[in-house]
Chains A and B, each alone.
Chain A
Amino acid sequence: MKYIDELKNISENPRAAFEGAIASGKKVVGVMPYFCPEELVYAAGMLPFGLWGAAIQANDSKRYFPAFICSILHTTLEMGIKGQLDDLSAIMIPICCDSLKGMGANWEYGVGNKVPVINVAYAQNRKIEAGVGFTASQFRKIRKQLEEIAGNEITDDALAKAVTVYNENRDAILCFSKAAATHPKEISAQTRSAVLKAGYFMDRAKHTEMLREITEELSALPASDEGYLKIVTTGILADMLGFLELIDKNNMVIADDQIAQESVGARTQTPVTEDPILGMAQRLSDIEGCSVLYDLGKFRGKQLVSLAQEAGAAGILFVLTKFCDPEEYDYVPVKRMTDAAGIPMLQVEIDQQMKNFAQAESALQAFAEMLRER
């Protein structure tokens, strides 16, 4: 299928995309999870580059973070210390979880000021007007910092355009995900993940174009999901190859996801407002389904149940990123909600440095056997 190999390549080798952008004279800004105002980077004419860790061994990072911090932070810091990210013009670090609060200083002292840190603070009390106002104030501050780094102004026009590019990409992600749900033969879990992940390393407009093309091709094909077990995933990320292989091996298809790296952000568009910054701040107030954002009433659990029901899923995989405390807190009430709805949910604890998936393999196979028996 057109573009699939290209997206797979990008996702499996982000370094090439990174070096390619640098070689073309483009400035690149690193963007850590979660929900940074990427549109500002895009509007400044720079490439926002997602930093979600890597499947590498963390060694030097252990001088800074204790072992009980998630591998996203460990391995991102590791790449920084090793000098692999020196060509970044800046790195955006949000402070929405306790581990991330320590990332800025560890980066500053571990990597040095060759890659300056842009702290991203946004309101947790995000449903009130003052919260949206605070987030907007921080985005304005970041806008100035980025203008300095880019060496040019970020005009409202450029920003409005960036908002449109990102909104279209969000829509394209959801459409692709929906099409992939009925075409597991063409789009395996591994492919699905690669196609979505590639967006973090490339021009979003280009990503949209490719997603649309793939989605169109898929829609023209008959569904290929017969005999597949429909599941919904939830968590921070689910891109480890060893894990995705297990989903494919057990003939499971991801019917929908509530994964921060995949569809969570895509579900919420930036409202088009006269001052684009306000719309972006409003989006932070509107996003649901992620443990790092204040969630009174645990709407996440309710959303998860309805995603599973709408997708006709047989079960849910709670993909727990090892040492992610917001996820570990959410697990208990979310499990209670899915239990109440009668949808089986399995917790699988994984991280990017994991080499041995034996336990996950047993658990996933048993889960599949169990669901098929029902």
Chain B
Amino acid sequence: MADIYTMGIDIGSSASKCLILKNGTEIAGSAVIAAGTGTSGPRRAQEEALAAAGISMKDIRRSTATGYGRNTVEGVDAVVSELSCHAIGIHAVFPDVRTLIDIGGQDAKVIRVSENGRLDSFVMNDKCAAGTGRFLDVMARVLELDVSELEEKSAKAKNVVNISSTCTVFAESEVISQLSNNVDICDLVAGIHRSVAVRTAGLVRRLGVVEPVAMSGGVALNGGVVSALEEELGLTIKVSPLAQLNGAYGAAVHAWGQLEKETL
């Protein structure tokens, strides 16, 4: 029997992700492009994922789009919210996980996953950017670091600096004044991570902590934030190996599910 491919496309504010699933279980190809909705990112992500899988668009039997830019993707079979896709995605990776924390560029969300892998309830960050990937981007820029360097720096921290401001503008001036006081940059980075962790922990508590807890999204790649969050919540967090691709994975699984429903 020929292989069946489904595609999940997750178009975020700052990145486009695409994942192709073979026969509902095997990841045939994926791509993450650092350009979000309204750019060439969505198209490029699809092309790259298809190339990685060694197939072409006509081989895709079903596709599901998700993410902020989900309504702008042409030619997809279904459009599903990223919250549902994240729940489906994490359930496929870690079936026992009940709480998923996903921090992306623009927003942070905490999702309760039911035992059968469905979206049970959720909360999202409020109007301010504190506690999102954007906050980390701004802070990294102030410190003249690349976001990818943050984890390594914070691992070397000795005395974590307290960053109290939640307002991004205020936090920026707070970090600058600490820098001019010659505070160790590693201590500062750890402080920034803790600030994000505290903010996120508040969201988690708002929903109620049900273990096991997992994390996905671009910020999950930063182990500094993950361990700060573990400390803040006093529990262990499973990090999805798919990180940013969790939503796209969930979308591809969703597309597979649609196909199965149809053929039943």
Determine which of A359, A362, A369, A370 lies in contact with B121 in the assembled complex, contact meaning CB atoms within 8 Å: A370
Closest residue on chain B to residue A360 by CB atoms = B124
Closest residue on chain B to residue A320 by CB atoms = B126
Find chain A residues with CB under 8 A from B30 CB.
none
Interface size class of B (residues with CB under 8 A): 10 to 19
| Contact, CB under 8 Å: A344 / B81 | no
A366 CA to B84 CA, complexed, in Å: 6
Find chain A residues with CB under 8 A from B118 CB.
370, 373
B102 to chain A, nearest CB (A): 12
- Interface 0/1 of A351-374, CB less than 8 Å to B: 000000011001101100110010
| Contact, CB under 8 Å: A369 / B81 | yes
Find chain B residues with CB under 8 A from A344 CB.
121
Find chain A residues with CB under 8 A from B121 CB.
344, 370
| Contact, CB under 8 Å: B107 / A366 | no
Find chain B residues with CB under 8 A from A366 CB.
81-84, 119, 122
Find chain A residues with CB under 8 A from B82 CB.
362, 366
Find chain A residues with CB under 8 A from B123 CB.
347
For residue B94, CB closer than 8 A to chain A, the reply is no
With A369-B81, A370-B84 known as contacts, the answer to whether A363 contacts B119 (CB < 8 A) is: no
| Contact, CB under 8 Å: A362 / B119 | no
A54 to chain B, nearest CB (A): 20
Determine which of B13, B80, B83, B120 lies in contact with A363 in the assembled complex, contact meaning CB atoms within 8 Å: B83
A344 CA to B123 CA, complexed, in Å: 12
Chain A interface helix/strand/loop/mixed = helix
Interfacial residues of chain B within 49-93, with CB under 8 A of chain A in the complex: 68, 80-84
- Interface 0/1 of B94-111, CB less than 8 Å to A: 000000000000110000
Determine which of A322, A359, A365, A370 lies in contact with B120 in the assembled complex, contact meaning CB atoms within 8 Å: A370
Closest residue on chain A to residue B111 by CB atoms = A366
Find chain B residues with CB under 8 A from A369 CB.
80-81, 83-84, 119
For residue A349, CB closer than 8 A to chain B, the reply is yes
Determine which of A322, A347, A365 lies in contact with B81 in the assembled complex, contact meaning CB atoms within 8 Å: A365
A369 CA to B251 CA, complexed, in Å: 14
| Contact, CB under 8 Å: B127 / A362 | no
A369 CA to B81 CA, complexed, in Å: 8
Find chain A residues with CB under 8 A from B13 CB.
358
Closest residue on chain B to residue A369 by CB atoms = B84
Find chain B residues with CB under 8 A from A322 CB.
127
Find chain A residues with CB under 8 A from B122 CB.
363, 366, 370
20 pairs of residues in contact across A and B, judged by CB atoms under 8 Å: A347-B123, A349-B127, A358-B13, A359-B124, A362-B68, A362-B81, A362-B82, A362-B83, A363-B124, A365-B80, A366-B81, A366-B82, A366-B83, A369-B80, A369-B83, A369-B84, A370-B118, A370-B119, A370-B120, A373-B118
A365-B80, A369-B81 given; 5 more Cβ-contact pairs under 8 Å: A358-B68, A362-B82, A366-B81, A366-B84, A366-B122
The 4 closest A-B pairs by CB, nearest first: A366-B83, A366-B81, A365-B81, A369-B84
